[in-house]
Amino acid sequence: MIFSFLAAIGAGFLAFLAATGRLFLFVLSSLAALFRPPFYFRLLLRQVVEMGYFSLPVVGLTALFTGMVLALQSYVGFARFNAEGSVATVVVLSMTRELGPVIGGLMVAGRVGAAIAAEIGTMRVTDQIDALTTLSTDPFRYLVLPRLLAGLITLPFLVLVADVLGVFGGFLVGTYKLGFNPAGYLDQTHQFLETRDVVLGLVKASVFGFIVALMGCYQGYHSRGGAEGVGQATTHAVVSASVLILLSDYLLTQAFFAR
């Protein structure tokens, strides 16, 4: 009884190690592809447009509402000890340091990570990835690398837009609903914001973008078993990317901001 329990834990742990190892090898293969010509610039561009431009509406909207809610909630909280004046500061710091990157990352995981896993997974189960190989084309260079790079460079821009819209949402609620003076609110917004807050938020975004693309590619690449397998790969891509985003968010925050 106790042994079967321990055996189950051990088996789970070994499976975890094997999965981590496979993921690590996958990253290494992608990095190795970076140093082999040719580089598919057109494919990179297409992925940047797909990931960045077409994600703008959903990321922009969620950031706007997040900023608005943030202003409302912090106002309610701060009013209890007469600190309403800090609403603008709280909104801008939360958005740039934390919520912009995380919300952007999670939204892109749902939109783009799923699409990547479904596309590459379908190519896997219909032999298209094998066909690439027989046509002397490296699937890592042709499929994986452009997506990883697109994630790395696109998310910061997307999150910058999210930051601006979030702050704007806070400004709308602050001035129209909570009765702040517009100039005063903007002043508050600037006062305690440092360049570092924004830049480190964008570094986070870059890491999150990489995670989303990586999980999409990895799950898609290793999917098998027809349409059902592709569906599972898609789910796993979104779930694992979301968990990894929140986990790495904690680690990065600790590394960047804790003193």
Partner 1 sequence: MSAHAAPKISVRGLEKSFDGKQVLNGLDLDIAEGESLVVIGGSGTGKSVLVKCILGLLRPEAGSIRIDGAETVGIGWAARQRLMRRIGMLFQGGALFDSLKVWENVAFGLIEGRGVERNAAQEVALSKLAAVGLGREVGELYPAELSGGMQKRVALARAIAAEPEIIFFDEPTTGLDPIMADVINDLILKCVRDLGATAVSITHDMVSTKKIADRIAMLHQGRIIWQGRKEEIDRSGNPFVDQFVHGRAEGPIAMEVRAL
Point out which residues bind partner 1 (CB under 8 A). 122-123, 126-128, 130-131, 133-138, 142
DSSP string, the chain: -HHHHHHHHHHHHHHHHHHHHHHHHHHHHHHHHHTSSPP-HHHHHHHHHHHTGGGHHHHHHHHHHHHHHHHHHHHHHHHTTT-GGGHHHHHHHHIIIIIHHHHHHHHHIIIIIHHHHHHHHHHHHTTHHHHHHHTT--HIIIIIHHHHHHHHHHHHHHHHHHHHHHHHHHHHIIIIIS---HHHHHHHHHHT--HHHHHHHHHHHHHHHHHHHHHHHHHHHT--SHHHHHHHHHHHHHHHHHHHHHHHHHHHHHHHH--
Cβ distance 78 to 84 under 8 Å? Answer: yes
Task: State in angstroms the smallest separation of the CB of 128 from partner 1.
Answer: 5
Task: State in angstroms the smallest separation of the CB of 195 from partner 1.
Answer: 41
Task: State in angstroms the smallest separation of the CB of 148 from partner 1.
Answer: 18
**Beta carbon nearer to partner 1, 123 or 148:** 123
Task: State in angstroms the smallest separation of the CB of 191 from partner 1.
Answer: 50
**Beta carbon nearer to partner 1, 132 or 164:** 132
**Beta carbon nearer to partner 1, 122 or 234:** 122
187 vs 231: CA distance, rounded Å = 49
**Beta carbon nearer to partner 1, 187 or 228:** 228
**Beta carbon nearer to partner 1, 169 or 216:** 216
Task: State in angstroms the smallest separation of the CB of 72 from partner 1.
Answer: 44
**Beta carbon nearer to partner 1, 46 or 177:** 46
Task: State in angstroms the smallest separation of the CB of 136 from partner 1.
Answer: 3
